[in-house]
Structure 1
Amino acid sequence: MTVFILVAGVFTGPQVWRETAARLTAEGAGVRTVALTGPGSRPADGGGAVDLETHIADVTEVIDSVVGAARPGAEIVLVGHDYGIHPVLGAADRRPRSIARIVHLDAGMPQDGVPALAAVPDPLLREEAVERAAAGGGAAGGELPPPAREEWSRWGSTAGLSDAALDGLTALAAPQPLGTLLQPLRLTGAVAAVPSTGVLCTANGPGVEMLQVMVDVGTPAVRALADARVTFFELSTGHWPMLSCPGELAEALIEAAAGGGRLLTPAGSGRTPAHLRPFLLDVPERPRERTRNTDLYPPDGPGPHPAVVFVHGGPVPAEARPTPRDWPTLTGYARHVAGQGVVGVTLDHRLHAVTDYGRAAEDVADAVERVRADPRVDADRVALWFFSGGGPMTARWLADPPGWLRCVAANYPILAPLPGWGLTGSRFHPARVLSRAGRLPVVLVRAGRESAEIAATVEEFVAEAARCGANLEIVDVPEGRHGFETLDPVDGAREAVHRAVGAVLARLKG
């Protein structure tokens, strides 16, 4: 028999699990929901403050009670949602032999010595917690009030929640003791031996394919996930699947307990990573010129020629090899436009983390000025073409288009900060500045099989373009995935590339 121990996240308690627990019980599983000690309660050890160690003790107590009452052969699966993964890992680290599997339910990968506050997506919320703690003389006894009904999205996507569910979530929410967010998690390392499963809510964060890309490019934080003991499931919903799709969640948990789920392939396993597969067009090789972080693919003839600067996405780890300017998609586009009388430019910028957008945009701006200074380049006819996670940088040029910028293009772009990134304001939120772009041509290449979280940012951008009358042309790739140029070498995708390149070059040469 499997016994699921369910631990809820910030502001929530056992009541959020009601429907999911009922589905699990109907499948013959045992279920225990943990009532974490809240504000106004006293820790079981008699201490004066409720902190993370208090909640770890709460979970450990339930584990011990299940072990004491369990039949031989019973397996315990610990499920932590949101903040709940912190006390789950702390308790499992103390009772590793009692736990068959840990499920990270739309939760991160907390590390030893790091407080839960570091995982809170909104920087203003983090600041509020620190300020409240300071005003109260420390975390002891302090608390963070639950969000109002319209503020839940600051803590995670509310996609899939009905009005009734959101009302119920708000009505039952309780303050969160500050000590639970501010006290660092302490792990001995014993928990690393316990198999784990990630249940990814794709309206709130990356799916399995995006994690695989991160493994392939060498993102340090996800390398350990490419392990035979780590499996994954996806739910196409927001951050509270126990309320938005309890049946689907219960099914995923049952399968996870049985060892099911998708696996990630380790980097260096002999498989060619998706981003390093051949470009979908058979483009002839052309000479390139490398200067600092920039490569030029000049066309035939003396010029001056228009130029297209191709800006890669990310974040990409600084250690990634080859670096993005040598990836087949960017080199393929650069050679393709060079064959049509336009200078193709690829570059490496320093978008190594979501906090790096400012310096990455400066890297792009610096590269553009060096390209424009080349005598073979027509300094007044330049296009910028962004990919994937480079999309937020378009806001810089949309907000105040320079005279030399003839077109902005974007392939399967992220066009608003994703949940969990913590980016606020309009600096890297293209839809918020699109109305200032005037008649600047924008070419958007939209992948039909895009992840829900990224597709939502594109929909926001398209809706704003319609509202403000932006000069937007959309090239759809109905069967294309994120990174279709190396993933989907089919006729429809090839046609879309030709259409997009034609649209951009028409703006440059017109």
Structure 2
Amino acid sequence: MTEFVLVAGAWLGAWAWDEVAPELRAAGHGVHPVTLSGLADKRGVPAGQQTHVQDIVDEVERLDLRDVVLVGHSYSGIPVGQAAERIGDRLARVVFVDSNVPADGESFLSAWPTGRPVVEASIAENDGFWAPLTAADYGGQGLGDEEIARIVAGSTPHPGATLTEPAVLARPLGDLPATYIKCLLDGAEPGPDVAALLTDDRWRLVEMDTGHWPMFSQPHELARVLLDATGPVRSA
């Protein structure tokens, strides 16, 4: 039995996986959606990036999970990638869902120079938090009005320190067994950092014909891709 630990991206909590988790459980696996500190039902808990890494490691160790597939969406690929190397032989695979990936000494914002000024301005204007997106920002991502309304209603401001603190990696990320899911409505190709990692035999690429939030736009298809990550991977 695989143990899936699911971590959604900025502004979101464990609730973002509500339509994905049942299908993984129905296939006989353990499923553990995680809310990171400072978000959703953990709003108000102080958090930096290493706090988020520890949130994930603590969940794995607290439940004594083995054969773990760590899943990180969007921003959460950064703490998930760090946590993956810290849980040692508990890890079966890490899955990055249209996500950022960590680089030692680099922050979320340092790896996103074009977006940095906008995010830093939002953090400065919102008491140290990155303000959630508005409904209009989700256009063109394969989401219906109902899905967009659900995301907007559930989103909470994202702790700014998690975006500015550097990642800490003890070894190259390419050493980890990994699957990268590229959501094609959010760009046809992975970024250059991911493309370089995909040259390693331990990494696999899966494409999904949807937008950046597949747990809302194509939850059943995403569940199937995650189940495939426990064995041979096919394109969705």
Query: In structure 2, what residue type is equivalent to 1:243?
Result: F
Q: Classify 1:57/1:131 alpha carbon distance in 2 versus 1 (closer, same or farther; 3 Å).
A: same
Aligned residue in 2 for 1:90 = 82
Separation in 2, partners of 1:96, 1:191: 13
1:66-465 residue pairs with structure 2 within 5 A?
Answer: 66=63, 68=64, 70=65, 74-120=66-112, 123=115, 126-131=116-121, 133=123, 142-153=128-139, 158-189=140-171, 191-207=173-189, 222-261=195-234
Q: After superposition, what is the alpha-carbon deviation per residue over 1:334-388, rounded to whole angstroms, capped at 9, x for unaligned?
A: xxxxxxxxxxxxxxxxxxxxxxxxxxxxxxxxxxxxxxxxxxxxxxxxxxxxxxx
SS in structure 1 of the partner of residue 225 of structure 2: helix
Aligned residue in 2 for 1:62 = 59
1:25-40 residue pairs with structure 2 within 5 A?
Answer: 25-38=25-38, 40=43
Whether the aligned pair in 2 keeps the contact of 1:231 and 1:259 (CA below 8 Å) is: no
Separation in 2, partners of 1:179, 1:245: 31
Separation in 1, partners of 2:194, 2:136: 32
Query: In structure 1, what residue type is equivalent to 2:119?
Result: A
Query: In structure 1, what residue type is equivalent to 2:79?
Result: P
Q: Classify 1:147/1:224 alpha carbon distance in 2 versus 1 (closer, same or farther; 3 Å).
A: closer
Whether the aligned pair in 2 keeps the contact of 1:92 and 1:191 (CA below 8 Å) is: no
SS in structure 2 of the partner of residue 92 of structure 1: helix
Whether the aligned pair in 2 keeps the contact of 1:52 and 1:87 (CA below 8 Å) is: yes
Aligned residue in 1 for 2:8 = 8
Whether the aligned pair in 1 keeps the contact of 2:74 and 2:100 (CA below 8 Å) is: yes
Q: Classify 1:226/1:96 alpha carbon distance in 2 versus 1 (closer, same or farther; 3 Å).
A: same
How many Å apart are 1:192 and its aligned residue? 4.0
Separation in 1, partners of 2:15, 2:88: 27
Aligned residue in 2 for 1:21 = 21
Root-mean-square deviation (CA), in Å?
2.4
Query: In structure 1, what residue type is equivalent to 2:207?
Result: E
How many Å apart are 1:255 and its aligned residue? 0.7
Q: After superposition, what is the alpha-carbon deviation per residue over 1:22-58, rounded to whole angstroms, capped at 9, x for unaligned?
A: 111111111000110116533xxxxxx4110111111
Separation in 2, partners of 1:193, 1:186: 15
Q: Classify 1:99/1:221 alpha carbon distance in 2 versus 1 (closer, same or farther; 3 Å).
A: closer
Provide structure 2 residue ranges, at least 5 long, that are not aligned to the other structure.
Answer: none
Separation in 1, partners of 2:142, 2:184: 11
How many Å apart are 1:97 and its aligned residue? 2.0
SS in structure 2 of the partner of residue 19 of structure 1: coil
Separation in 2, partners of 1:121, 1:14: 29
TM-score, scaled to structure 1: 0.43
SS in structure 2 of the partner of residue 58 of structure 1: helix
Provide structure 1 residue ranges, at least 5 long, that are not aligned to the other structure.
Answer: 43-48, 263-510
TM-score, scaled to structure 2: 0.88
Separation in 2, partners of 1:260, 1:144: 35
Q: Classify 1:132/1:249 alpha carbon distance in 2 versus 1 (closer, same or farther; 3 Å).
A: closer
Query: In structure 2, what residue type is equivalent to 1:162?
Result: G
Q: After superposition, what is the alpha-carbon deviation per residue over 1:36-95, rounded to whole angstroms, capped at 9, x for unaligned?
A: 0116533xxxxxx411011111111111123x2x4xxx5100000000111101211222
Whether the aligned pair in 2 keeps the contact of 1:94 and 1:190 (CA below 8 Å) is: no
Q: Classify 1:151/1:135 alpha carbon distance in 2 versus 1 (closer, same or farther; 3 Å).
A: closer
Query: In structure 2, what residue type is equivalent to 1:20?
Result: V
Query: In structure 2, what residue type is equivalent to 1:9?
Result: G
Q: Classify 1:129/1:204 alpha carbon distance in 2 versus 1 (closer, same or farther; 3 Å).
A: closer
SS in structure 2 of the partner of residue 116 of structure 1: coil
Whether the aligned pair in 2 keeps the contact of 1:104 and 1:196 (CA below 8 Å) is: yes
SS in structure 1 of the partner of residue 205 of structure 2: strand
Aligned residue in 2 for 1:418 = none
How many Å apart are 1:260 and its aligned residue? 2.3
